[in-house]
Amino acid sequence: MYLMLIITKTLWLLSFLMIIYMGYYVYTSAFALKKLKELPQAEPKNRFAAVIAARNEENVIGNLVKSLKEQNYPPELVEVFVIPNNCTDNTAAAALKAGAVVVDCDRKVRSKGDVLNFAFETIFSGREDFDAYCVFDADNLADPDFFREMNNALCSGMKAAQGFRDSKNPDDSAVSSWYTVYYLTINRILNHSRSALSMSSWINGTGFMISDQAIRQLGGWNTKTISEDMEITTLCVLNGINIGWVPKAVVFDEQPLTFGQSWKQRRRWSTGMQDCARYIKPLMASALRDKNVNCVEVVFTIIAPYVQLLGATAFALTMLLTGIKIKYDLFPDTFLFVRLFLSFDTSYISTTAVSALAVLLAGKSMKKLSYGILSFWIFLATWVPINLISLFRKQKDWSKIEHTRQLTLKDIADQE
């Protein structure tokens, strides 16, 4: 009897915390429907360095460099740097042939964050000729207006900004379709909503800009975890640097094709996010001291793996008590309430509706992404075992995803 009391009280507490957490995201996500003011067009004046960490990317690096060299922006204001690391192929030669400046990483690195640390310590240390740095993954393609839009962002006062992360291969496989829907959801439901609320957006791996002023304010690129995008977002917020959202600065990203590739990648993401838990204390201190709502937002994101595990635990406890017919009086015991709030149906329908809305608002083909939308719940559900494993067994090193899609911007335009 005492054990049942502990279980029911635990369920009450978990459910209360989940309601608060989900309520916050329901509120903020509603602003995905709000139209944003467009950035004013500015004269091209800022000088950009495009920074690309590359590990065995001979197949794709040339097309990225080409897309960066053929921008609707003065070429003299853009310099492309490729930093090969741990390569066993001809990445350096391919990048050099495409017109990039190639700087070999002369130190042992285990992640992209380590390569960026090397870049800002060596290549850019002491230089004052760049106004901002734009970071790309080697498999990307940049829209021709990318630097023009980031110039508008800088001229409008942004110190850092995230662009629109789109997909090169949305319908290559079920997994690439999931990822496409995932990033469209992040673009609209997270970054667009935060921008509408005048909050800081999120740097999410590639296609982002950070100004020279911001890098100096941060004392360089000093990420230590395996998830450098989450950590640099956290460091920016802690230092009062608001991250803008620039939806017209589009970058096309090659998505994983297999579940095995996705599993390894998301294990890395989960480990990195959990490692960022070290920042929760200073974030909460800043939130209380400076009334900085962005710090609370970052904390809510960092704890997402733990919240998901708590939610899974609450669900298991609910099923246990229901199965052994223990009445715990947490929710109204009516058929309608159970069907609306405690059933798989509601979970699936709400997930599918949100993902469909993100695709629709992005102006993408609902038909082409129909499989990704209809099965997106599976992608989210598989985070539970990933987060659980990562809680006890951290992934120490960065695992490379093979990139093979040698697409150009014309190829992508022809697909749409």
Give the strand pairing for 101-102 and 160-167: unpaired
pLDDT greater than 80 at residue 340: no
Report residue 316's pLDDT band, with 50, 70 and 90 as the boundaries: confident
Query: Is residue 121 scored above 80 in pLDDT?
Result: yes
Tell me how many domains the chain contains.
1
- Which domain CATH number covers 161? 3.90.550.10
Angle CA 74–117–236, to nearest 5: 80
pLDDT confidence of residue 319: 66
DSSP assignment of 276-345, as one string?
Answer: GGGGHHHHHHHHHHH--HHHHHHHHHHTHHHHHHHHHHHHHHHHHHHHTT----SS---HHHHHHHSSHH
pLDDT at 309 > cutoff 90: no
**Phi-psi sector, 335: left (phi>0), alpha (psi -120 to 50), beta:** alpha
3-class DSSP state of 106: coil
Looking at the domain assignment, is residue 173 inside a domain?
Answer: yes
Let me know if residue 94 belongs to a domain: yes
pLDDT at res. 126? 79
Please check whether residue 43 lies inside any domain of the structure.
no
Mean pLDDT, residues 203-224: 94
What average pLDDT does the structure give for the chain? 88
Confidence band of 344 (pLDDT split at 50, 70, 90): low
How much is the average pLDDT of 101-114? 88
Flag whether pLDDT at 211 surpasses 60.
yes
Predicted confidence at residue 125, as pLDDT, reads: 85
Strand 208-211 relative to strand 132-137, pairing = antiparallel
Confidence at 128, pLDDT banded by 50, 70, 90: confident
Is the per-residue pLDDT at 365 higher than 80? yes
Q: Tens digit of pLDDT for each residue in 66-82?
A: 999 999 999 999 999 99
Per-residue pLDDT tens for 144-186?
999 999 999 999 999 999 999 999 999 899 999 999 999 999 9
Structure tokens at 103: 């700087």
- Residue 121's identity, in one-letter code, is E
Name the residue range of residue 375's domain. Answer: 1-37+48-416
- Look at residue 99 and tell me whether its pLDDT is greater than 90: yes
